[in-house]
Structure 1
Amino acid sequence: MAGLEDLPIEVLEHILLLLDPIDVAQFAQTCSVHHFLLYGGPDSQHMWRELYLRQPFDDPRRCYTPLGRPLQKIDWKLRLQRIMRARAVLTKVSACRPEERCDVLQTLIDMVTHIPPLTHPEGIELSMNHVWTTAMLRGSALIEHEEWQLSPEEQQLRARLHTYFGLNASDFERQKRTASRAFVYAMRNYRYDNDFGPFMMDGSGRVNWVHLRAVHHVMSMHIVPDTEEAATAVFNVFPMSMPWTQSIIPNGINLEEEQDWAGVEGKWQCSFCFVDHRELLIYNNFNVRTVWLSWAYLRMLSGPLILQASESEPLQTDIFEDPDFVEVFRSIYVELRILGTEPDPDHPGRPRINFGGSLDGHAIFVGSVKVTADDQIRWRFVSTPPECRACRIDVDMRRYIDLR
C-alpha cells in the first residue's frame, strides 16, 4: 500500500501548502525525510516562501521600513516561525515564556512597521499586515493585561505596539485616562536630559514609548468621541490609529536622492491640547503667588523663567477627576516649505531637513526633521509670532501624531 513517502515531491509540497504553518511544522517531525524536506534541503527556503505567501500577510518583497527603504534579505522560514509564535501568544497570553516576550512584541512591531507604502495620500490600499495584526490584537489581552512583571525593555515594546494600534476598550476607562494625563502633565518628566520631550532620560534622543503612549492617549481621546459606541467598537479608525502609520511614497520617487524625503512641504493640520497654567502649577506642587508682570518686563527677560518644585512630594491626580477640569484641544493649519538640508553622517540618505512656513498666516514657523538614534523620525519646530518675539513655543512631535 502506497504511503506519503511514495508521493512525488511536487505533489507532497502542494498538499503541505494547503495546511496551516503549525501543521506543516508538526509534519516535519514525523520522519527524517520530511524534516529534511522542510529544514535541510536546498529548496527549503522556496517551500517556506510559498507557504508564507499563502498567509494573509503583505509580501515582504513589497514592504519598506519606516525610513522608506525596502527590506533586505528575507529569511522566509524564520519570519513565518516568529509570526506563528506571536499568533500563539496572542491567542493565549499565558503561554508566553518570559524569555520570549521581547521577541514576540518585536515581531508584532515589525509586522506593523514593515509594510507596503501608499503611493498617494488618498490611497485606500490597506496593508494586510495591519488587518491581521489589528484583528489579532483586538481579541487579545497582550497590550493591556497586568499579569507580567515587565522589564524596562518590555514596557517600551508594549507601549510602542499599543501606540501603533490606537485605542482599545480599556483606554476609555476614566482611571486609564487619568493615569495618562498624570504622566503627560507631570513636569518632572521633562528635563534637559530628555530634551523636554517624550525621549529617554539618558540623553540618547531615543524615543520613550511609555511617555509617547501617554501623549497619544491624551490626544486620541479628543479625536474619538468618548461615547459608549466608541468604547465598544470593534476597532476605532481615526487619524492616530494603525492605518495612519502607513508611509506614502509616490511612484517614481527615489528617497535616496530626494531632498524632501520626509514629505515636509505642503499644508498640515497640527493638533494640540493643554490645561490652564494655574491648574498645571497646582498639580505639580508649585508654591505660586499671583504676580503681575508688565509686558515691558517680559520683553526684558533674556531667557526662560523656570520655577522649581519638590519632586519628592507625590502628585495628586484628583484634579483630573474634578467635573470642572478643562483640557483644551485645538487644531491649526500650517504651510511648510524647505529652507535647506544638512548631511547626517549617522543616517546617509536621510539628511536633516530645515523648514519654515506660516502659521495661520500670522507667525513665522521654523523647525527641522531628523532621524533619531533609534531610527525614528523626529519633528521639531519653534513658532515665533512677529508681535511676540519673547514668546516661544517648542514642540516635539512625531509625524504620525500630526494630522495631515
Structure 2
Amino acid sequence: MQVLDLPREILAHILACLHPAAIACFGQTCKAAHDFVRPQHQILWRTAFLYIFDDPNDAWSMMPGHPPLVPDRTWDWHHELCVRLMALRGVQSKRCGSDSCAEAHLSALLDILDTAKFAPNARDIANGKMPKEDDRTTSLNLQILAGLTPYQNGIESLIHDSGTQSVLSHTRSDERMLGSTLRFTRSMALSENDQNRPESASRLHVLYGLTTRERIEHKARGAARRKVYNWSLSGQDNDYGPFRRDGTGKVDWPLLEAVFSVMSRNFSICAEGRIAMPQGFCYALPHRTLADPTIPHDWARVTGTWLGTYSWLDYLDLFAFNNLSHDSGAHPTLDDEPEDSGDLMRLELKLDDVVASDPRLTTTLPVCTDLPVLYFSGLSRGHAGMHRPVIGVRGCASLVPGGREVRWRFIIYYGGQDQWQLEGVQPGGIRSGGVFGLWTQCDHEENGPVGPFCYFPTELCKPTSVVLAT
C-alpha cells in the first residue's frame, strides 16, 4: 500500500507528528501529496497545530464571554500555525524589533500567550489531574515561551525597538548619532518615537517582565518616570488610572508599562531580598492563584492577603517636571531625581457587599459585565509585624471591557477620612499576577500628588533569602 492510499484521517495524523517544514517537503513529492497538504486542508493543519500548541478552546472555554471555537468561527489553522512559527523563528534574531514583520511577531507572541492553557480541562480532570498553583507543565504554549530564554535579546528588541526605527531613519545623521537621547524626551507619551511604537510592544513588555536593557540603561528609569508622574496622562476622564482617555475604560498599555517598569525596580528594593516579585509569562496567565471552594463567587481571588508598596517623588520635583519650561534650564529629567518608596505593605481583604453603595466606588467608565463587580473591605498594615497604625481599605474589582484584564480600585482610609484612591489593572487576567496602577488623593485637587503602586497575591511572592513571616 502506498502512503497516499491510507485513509485521509490516518495520513493526516501521521503527518501531524512531523515538523510543519517536513509536511511542506512531503507536499513537494508529487501532485497528490501537494493537494493533500494544501492550506485548505484544515483537518491536517489543525492536527499539526495541536501537536505543537495548546488548543485555543482550552483557554477560550474558561474565559468569561468568550465562546469556544465552532465551525462557523473564523480560525485558519494553517495561517495561525505559520505566523506563530515565523514569530518564534524571528525572535532568534537579536535585531528582531527592526524587522518589517516586528508588529506581526508581537501579535503572534501575544496570541500564543492569550490562548495558553491555564488550567486542566474537563478531560484532564476526568483523568485525575487536578488544578494546582503555578502548574507550568499544563500548557504547551507556556513551555514554548519558556524555551525562548536563549533568545531574550530578540524578544527585548521586539519590545523596545518595534516602531522606532522608521522614526530614526527620517532624522538627520547628527540626530541619529544621538538616537538614545532622542528616545528619552521630557514626556515619552509626547515623543514621536512613542507614538509610532505599537501598543502591543507595551503589552508584551508588561507580561514579559523587566528587560536587561532597562535594568542597565540609566535613562530607562527616567523614561518610565516621565509617564508615571505626568499629570497630563491621567484625570477625571480615565478615573486617574492607567486607562485610555477616550471613555472606553480600556487599558492604556504604554502608561501601564511605565508603572510596571518603575514598580518592578522599587518593589525589589522595598522587599530587601525577603521575597521575589512574581513576573514573567508564567504569571501573565489567568488562574495562577487557586480559587477558594468555600467562596465560589470570589472569581477575582479578592479574599486573602496581598503584598505590595507604592512610590512617590518629592513634590518640588513633581511640580517642576510638570510646570517648568524647557527654556528655564532647570527642567528635571527624572533620570536622577530621588524617588521614595513606602514600606512593604500587607492587605487583608474580604468580600463586603455593604460597601457596594459607596459613591467613591462608582465609575462612569464602562466595565465588562460578563462577571459581577466584586466589592470588598479590609485592612492595610506594615508587613512582618511592623508597628504601624492599621489603615482601612475598601474597594471593588471588575473586568475591563474585553473581558481579560481585571480592574481594581482601592480607597485608603485613615486619620478619620478617605485619603487615597488607587486605580490599578491586573494585566494577566483573572487570578493572575500583580495589580499595577496609580494612586492619587481622593479629592483630586489640581496639581495634587500622584505615584505608582503594586500589589500581589501573597502565595505568588516566593521567599528568597528568608522565610515570610506569618
The residue aligned with 1:382 is 411
The residue aligned with 2:143 is 131
The residue aligned with 1:167 is 210
For residues 374 and 311 of structure 1, what CA distance do their matches in structure 2 show? 40
The residue aligned with 1:239 is 278
Instruction: Please state whether the residue corresponding to 1:392 is helix, strand or coil.
Output: strand
The residue aligned with 2:108 is 107
The answer to whether residue 424 in structure 2 is matched with residue 397 in structure 1 is yes
For residues 65 and 271 of structure 1, what CA distance do their matches in structure 2 show? 35
> Residues 241 and 423 of structure 2 are in contact (CA less than 8 Å); yes or no, is this contact kept in structure 1?
yes
Determine what percentage of the aligned residue pairs are the same residue.
24
Matched letter for residue 323 of structure 2: N
Shift of 1:313: 8.6
Matched letter for residue 379 of structure 1: W
Instruction: Please state whether the residue corresponding to 1:129 is helix, strand or coil.
Output: helix
> Residues 101 and 154 of structure 1 are in contact (CA less than 8 Å); yes or no, is this contact kept in structure 2?
no
For residues 409 and 333 of structure 2, what CA distance do their matches in structure 1 show? 32
Render the CA deviation track for 1:31-90: whole Å, top value 9, x for unaligned.
54223323377xx433223322332x3343433578467771174434322312322332
> Residues 58 and 127 of structure 1 are in contact (CA less than 8 Å); yes or no, is this contact kept in structure 2?
yes
- Pick one of 261, 280, 290 that aligns with 2:318: 280
The answer to whether residue 154 in structure 2 is matched with residue 155 in structure 1 is no
> Residues 338 and 353 of structure 1 are in contact (CA less than 8 Å); yes or no, is this contact kept in structure 2?
yes
The answer to whether residue 52 in structure 2 is matched with residue 62 in structure 1 is no
> Residues 60 and 68 of structure 2 are in contact (CA less than 8 Å); yes or no, is this contact kept in structure 1?
no
Shift of 1:380: 0.8
The answer to whether residue 408 in structure 2 is matched with residue 355 in structure 1 is no
Comparing 217-226 with 182-191, greater Cα deviation is found at: 217-226
| Distance change in 2, residues 1:251/1:384 (3 Å) | closer
For residues 19 and 320 of structure 1, what CA distance do their matches in structure 2 show? 51
> Residues 118 and 286 of structure 2 are in contact (CA less than 8 Å); yes or no, is this contact kept in structure 1?
yes
Render the CA deviation track for 1:328-348: whole Å, top value 9, x for unaligned.
243211111112379x99744
Instruction: Please state whether the residue corresponding to 2:198 is helix, strand or coil.
Output: helix
For residues 379 and 316 of structure 1, what CA distance do their matches in structure 2 show? 34
Shift of 1:394: 0.9
> Residues 102 and 153 of structure 1 are in contact (CA less than 8 Å); yes or no, is this contact kept in structure 2?
no
Instruction: Please state whether the residue corresponding to 1:143 is helix, strand or coil.
Output: helix
The answer to whether residue 246 in structure 2 is matched with residue 202 in structure 1 is yes
The residue aligned with 1:326 is 339
Shift of 1:242: 2.1
| Distance change in 2, residues 1:124/1:134 (3 Å) | closer
Shift of 1:214: 0.7
The residue aligned with 1:303 is none
> Residues 17 and 51 of structure 1 are in contact (CA less than 8 Å); yes or no, is this contact kept in structure 2?
yes
| Distance change in 2, residues 1:36/1:259 (3 Å) | same
> Residues 183 and 214 of structure 1 are in contact (CA less than 8 Å); yes or no, is this contact kept in structure 2?
yes
Instruction: Please state whether the residue corresponding to 1:80 is helix, strand or coil.
Output: helix
Shift of 1:377: 1.1
Count residues in correspondence: 360
> Residues 62 and 70 of structure 1 are in contact (CA less than 8 Å); yes or no, is this contact kept in structure 2?
no
Render the CA deviation track for 1:138-173: whole Å, top value 9, x for unaligned.
141211224245795852111001110001210111
Instruction: Please state whether the residue corresponding to 2:409 is helix, strand or coil.
Output: strand
Comparing 327-336 with 25-34, greater Cα deviation is found at: 25-34
The residue aligned with 2:69 is 73
Q: When the two structures are superposed, what TM-score results if normalisation uses the length of structure 2?
A: 0.65
Render the CA deviation track for 1:286-345: whole Å, top value 9, x for unaligned.
6xxxxxxxxxxxxxxxxxxxxxxx7999993444325xx233243211111112379x99
Instruction: Please state whether the residue corresponding to 2:343 is helix, strand or coil.
Output: strand
Shift of 1:97: 7.3
| Distance change in 2, residues 1:318/1:358 (3 Å) | same
Structure 2: 5+ residue stretches without partners: 120-130, 168-192, 271-275, 358-364, 382-388, 427-433, 436-454, 458-470
Instruction: Please state whether the residue corresponding to 2:91 is helix, strand or coil.
Output: helix
Matched letter for residue 243 of structure 2: F
Structure 1: 5+ residue stretches without partners: 227-236, 287-309
Render the CA deviation track for 1:269-293: whole Å, top value 9, x for unaligned.
132222222322232236xxxxxxx
Q: When the two structures are superposed, what TM-score results if normalisation uses the length of structure 1?
A: 0.74
> Residues 285 and 315 of structure 1 are in contact (CA less than 8 Å); yes or no, is this contact kept in structure 2?
no
Instruction: Please state whether the residue corresponding to 1:364 is helix, strand or coil.
Output: strand
For residues 187 and 348 of structure 1, what CA distance do their matches in structure 2 show? 30
> Residues 180 and 218 of structure 1 are in contact (CA less than 8 Å); yes or no, is this contact kept in structure 2?
yes
| Distance change in 2, residues 1:345/1:218 (3 Å) | closer
